[in-house]
């Protein structure tokens, strides 16, 4: 089959020109800096030799060597990237061959031919919901040809059909199918060089530290060298922003271009459908992993995470009323943006990939259709996919530390346990998702109008009211972002809101308008929340119950008020401990821990209250209890003899994490108790209506 030729767009050419220009500017700046560094090296070496010759004593020899090393240390900093190899960790990957997977290799051979590129050097499988082409790179890879490797994630293959897999492979190979595309790879390597000089300095720092420790006289010149290097890094940071911004623009165009190549091979529909399903596939996979994170203390692992991912994929689709076509959820753009009510559009100049919406819009414009469809699941390309899935599952769980040999859950075990946890950790469908991302709004019981409106459950929790919650949330997020634009903390010259273009200077007047809109929406939401309370209060009275609904509301409102104060104990202590992540002088470390003592005392008092509260008894596992008991048993020391006590710190941070987890669970439990009581009233009403009819 002939290679599919795709013309480069004017946008692609424009971004390529900008990227090449930024590279040239970088090299001119770099050459100037390097020339100055070489000059400094020659001068320092000459000065060092002259100093020693003028007065050959031990002190002048040491000072002469130190002076001569000054320029050398700067030059080494500027050249160290040449010796840096960026090797991809392959320990989690599983290599396959044509002999073991002939059907998959047949598709890859066909795709390579149609795209017009070379066959991958090696092909690997991973657990990821992703596919990519990768290679080990260094400075010389900009000039020497390097064969690429193909990575295929079984988490992706598990959720697509054969056409979609071919479209994804065509996209990946499309990145390397034309000479012009090599510019992107070139810019990437330049970015790696700058990144190396800015941030990848561990070995360099170790080297200069050893040199400084060799002699007190050397330390003087090391300090001067470090100051010079910091000045160079300041210049390089500016260059990094300049080059990277242009690279990101080119990177987005490369994605569009590779998408068009894929559309020429398979038509636009397979890539479009896989892009729309990707978020759901990724969420399903991560939900499985999250489930097993909670099973580590029970020594339980998965037999096959991919079967469980596929089950969850369809379970979530069913819950969200997404239809299945040929065994896979047919996700639409509407499903993807179902709850995204934002009207704010800001072009992210730092994004390496365009949005899914933009990619789909461009794909559809190609109008390329392939009627020769292959809708069978992509898993069928493998000779024994279950065996591969189990092998990679075992490989993944080998990294987890269990107290003893773990037991494996089958798919049926997973379904049973997941359904139990799902019911335990979600709210009833009776509310139509009204409470999924919002909490009951606080109101004063004494100010409620006693004249109760005659409303039904359907009136209170209809789509209009559910969407009103998401509109309010989106509007609040938009206001927060526009505030950042107005304050110039977010550097944006122009943005679109509700289809209209605004300048940064217009953001203030827009904010006033949006805040008024938000106030109206919040008033409507609060009014509906009060109507909900009155509805259930009336339902409760119908069955001659005591006023439990009022007490549940009061309990929730009280917990809601206390939550922020209790959460503050976590945030303040966490902030006080941030210094641990940075190099800090010994005296300052001791001072910082002393400053944190007051906040740690407050945390311990809050933990004691949690442990004595019956509401948390079902949530405090043996592991959490043991950690809390140990932590509360005495005043721990976290630093001494110029060394952090790692085990003590680990216990402290585990306690912090357990504390904030229990706080969030407490919030959920209070809310669920209130909502479950409402569900019981709804069920009684329905039951009563059925038997009274």
Write down the pLDDT at residue 178.
Answer: 58
Rounded percentage of the chain residues whose pLDDT exceeds 90: 61
Write down the pLDDT at residue 15.
Answer: 84
Q: Which of 165-174, 321-330, 351-360, 426-435 has the lowest mean pLDDT?
A: 351-360
What confidence category does residue 141 fall into, taking pLDDT thresholds of 50, 70 and 90?
low
Residues β-bridged to residue 668: none
pLDDT digits (tens, 9 = 90+) for 192-240: 777 777 787 878 888 888 888 888 888 889 899 999 999 998 998 888 8
Nearest to 511 by CA among 540, 478, 537: 478
Residues found in the chain: 693
Residue 130 pLDDT exceeds 90: yes
- DSSP code for 450: S
Write down the pLDDT at residue 641.
Answer: 80
Question: Is the Cβ–Cβ distance between 69 and 211 less than 8 Å?
Answer: yes
pLDDT digits (tens, 9 = 90+) for 382-441: 999 999 999 999 999 998 999 899 999 999 999 999 999 888 889 999 999 999 989 999
Q: Which of 82-86, 425-429, 453-457, 505-509 has the lowest mean pLDDT?
A: 82-86
* pLDDT (average), residues 22-26: 86
Average pLDDT, the chain: 89
Residue 587 pLDDT exceeds 90: no
Q: Which two tokens stand for residue 455?
A: 């409303």
Residue 258 pLDDT exceeds 80: yes
Write down the pLDDT at residue 78.
Answer: 87
Q: Which two tokens stand for residue 640?
A: 């001494």
What confidence category does residue 162 fall into, taking pLDDT thresholds of 50, 70 and 90?
very high
Render the burial of 619-629: b for 16+ CB within 10 Å, e for the rest.
bbeeebeebbe
Q: Which two tokens stand for residue 316?
A: 């979530």
Q: Which of residues 552 and 145 earns the better pLDDT score?
A: 552
Give 209-247 as a DSSP string.
HHHHHH-HHHHHHHHHHHHHHHHHHHHHHHHHHHHHHHH
Determine the Cα–Cα distance for residues 445 and 550; give it in Å rounded to an integer: 9
Write down the pLDDT at residue 47.
Answer: 93
Residues β-bridged to residue 137: 86
Nearest to 152 by CA among 116, 106, 108: 108
pLDDT digits (tens, 9 = 90+) for 387-404: 999 999 999 999 899 989
pLDDT digits (tens, 9 = 90+) for 641-657: 888 999 999 999 999 99
What confidence category does residue 91 fall into, taking pLDDT thresholds of 50, 70 and 90?
confident
Write down the pLDDT at residue 693.
Answer: 42
Residues β-bridged to residue 644: 639
H/E stretch holding 357: helix 356-366
Question: Is the Cβ–Cβ distance between 386 and 304 less than 8 Å?
Answer: yes
Determine the Cα–Cα distance for residues 66 and 517; give it in Å rounded to an integer: 67
What confidence category does residue 1 fall into, taking pLDDT thresholds of 50, 70 and 90?
very low
* pLDDT (average), residues 178-189: 64
Write down the pLDDT at residue 684.
Answer: 86
Q: Which of residues 183 and 557 earns the better pLDDT score?
A: 557
Residue 139 pLDDT exceeds 80: no
Nearest to 352 by CA among 693, 19, 4, 660: 19
Determine the Cα–Cα distance for residues 37 and 30; give it in Å rounded to an integer: 10
Q: Which of 267-271, 336-340, 423-427 has the lowest mean pLDDT?
A: 336-340
Q: Which of residues 239 and 261 earns the better pLDDT score?
A: 261
Write down the pLDDT at residue 143.
Answer: 60
Residue 179 pLDDT exceeds 80: no
- CA-to-CA separations, 479 to 347, 472, 511, in angstroms, rounded: 17, 10, 6
Is the C-alpha dihedral spanning 293, 298, 301, 306 positive or negative? negative
pLDDT digits (tens, 9 = 90+) for 196-207: 777 878 788 888
Residue 618 pLDDT exceeds 60: yes
Residue 191 pLDDT exceeds 80: no
What confidence category does residue 345 fall into, taking pLDDT thresholds of 50, 70 and 90?
confident
């Amino acid at each position: 089959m002939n290679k599919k030729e795709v013309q480069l767009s004017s946008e692609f050419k424009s971004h390529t020109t900008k990227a090449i220009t930024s590279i040239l500017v970088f090299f001119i700046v770099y050459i100037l800096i390097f020339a100055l560094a070489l000059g400094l090296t020659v001068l320092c070496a000459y000065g060092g030799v002259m100093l020693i010759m003028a007065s050959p004593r031990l002190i002048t020899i040491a000072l002469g060597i130190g002076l001569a090393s000054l320029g050398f240390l700067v030059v080494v900093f500027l050249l160290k990237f040449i010796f840096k190899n960026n090797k991809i960790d392959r320990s989690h990957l599983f290599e396959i061959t044509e002999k073991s997977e002939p059907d998959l290799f047949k598709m890859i051979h066909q795709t390579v031919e149609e795209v017009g590129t070379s066959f991958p050097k090696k092909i690997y499988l991973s657990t990821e919901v992703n596919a990519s082409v990768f290679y080990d790179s260094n400075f010389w890879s900009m000039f020497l040809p390097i064969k690429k490797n193909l990575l295929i994630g079984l988490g992706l293959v598990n959720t697509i059909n054969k056409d979609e897999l071919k479209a994804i492979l065509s996209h990946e190979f499309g990145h390397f199918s034309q000479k012009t595309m090599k510019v992107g790879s070139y810019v990437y390597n330049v970015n790696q060089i700058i990144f190396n000089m800015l941030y990848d300095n561990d070995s360099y720092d170790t080297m200069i530290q050893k040199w400084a420790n060799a002699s007190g006289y050397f330390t003087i010149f090391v300090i001067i060298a470090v100051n010079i290097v910091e000045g160079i890094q300041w210049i390089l940071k500016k260059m990094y922003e300049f080059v990277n911004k242009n690279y990101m623009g080119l990177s987005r165009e490369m994605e569009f271009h590779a998408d068009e190549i894929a559309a020429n091979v398979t038509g636009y529909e397979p890539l479009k459908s896989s892009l729309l399903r990707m978020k759901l596939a990724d969420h399903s996979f991560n939900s499985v992993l999250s489930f097993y994170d909670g099973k580590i203390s029970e020594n339980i692992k998965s037999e096959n995470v991919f079967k469980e991912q596929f089950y969850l994929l369809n379970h979530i689709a069913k819950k969200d009323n997404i239809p299945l076509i040929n065994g896979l959820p047919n996700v639409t753009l509407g499903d993807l943006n179902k709850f995204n009510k934002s009207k704010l559009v800001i072009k992210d100049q730092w994004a390496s990939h365009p949005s899914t919406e933009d990619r789909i819009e461009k794909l559809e414009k190609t109008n390329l259709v392939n009627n020769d469809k292959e809708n069978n699941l992509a898993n069928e390309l493998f000779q024994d996919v279950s065996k591969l899935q189990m092998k990679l599952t075992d490989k993944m769980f080998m990294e987890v530390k269990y107290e003893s040999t773990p037991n494996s859950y089958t798919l049926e075990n997973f379904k049973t346990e997941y359904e139990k946890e799902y019911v335990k950790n979600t709210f009833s469908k009776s509310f139509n998702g009204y409470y999924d991302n919002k909490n009951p709004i606080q109101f004063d019981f004494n100010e409620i109008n006693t004249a109760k409106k005659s409303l039904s459950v359907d009136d209170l929790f209809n789509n209009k009211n559910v969407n009103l919650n998401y509109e309010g949330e989106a509007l609040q997020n938009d206001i927060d972002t526009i505030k950042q634009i107005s304050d110039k903390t977010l550097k944006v010259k122009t943005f679109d809101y509700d289809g209209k273009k605004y300048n940064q200077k217009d953001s203030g007047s827009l904010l006033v308008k949006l805040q008024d809109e938000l106030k109206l929406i919040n008033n409507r939401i609060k009014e509906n929340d009060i109507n909900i309370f009155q509805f259930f209060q009336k339902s409760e009275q119908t069955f001659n119950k005591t006023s439990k609904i009022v007490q549940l509301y009061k309990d929730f409102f009280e917990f809601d008020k206390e939550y922020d104060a209790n959460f503050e104990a976590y945030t303040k202590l966490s902030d006080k401990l941030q210094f641990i992540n940075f190099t800090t002088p010994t005296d300052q470390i001791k001072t910082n821990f002393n400053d944190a003592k007051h906040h740690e005392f407050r945390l311990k008092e809050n933990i004691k209250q949690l442990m004595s509260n019956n509401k948390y008894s079902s949530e405090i596992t043996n592991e959490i209890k043991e950690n809390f008991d140990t932590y509360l048993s005495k005043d721990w020391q976290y630093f001494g003899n110029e060394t952090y006590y790692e085990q003590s710190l680990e216990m402290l941070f585990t306690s912090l994490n357990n504390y904030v987890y229990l706080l969030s669970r407490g919030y959920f439990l209070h809310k669920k108790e209130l909502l479950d009581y409402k569900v019981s009233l709804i069920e009684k009403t329905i039951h009563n209506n059925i038997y009274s009819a």
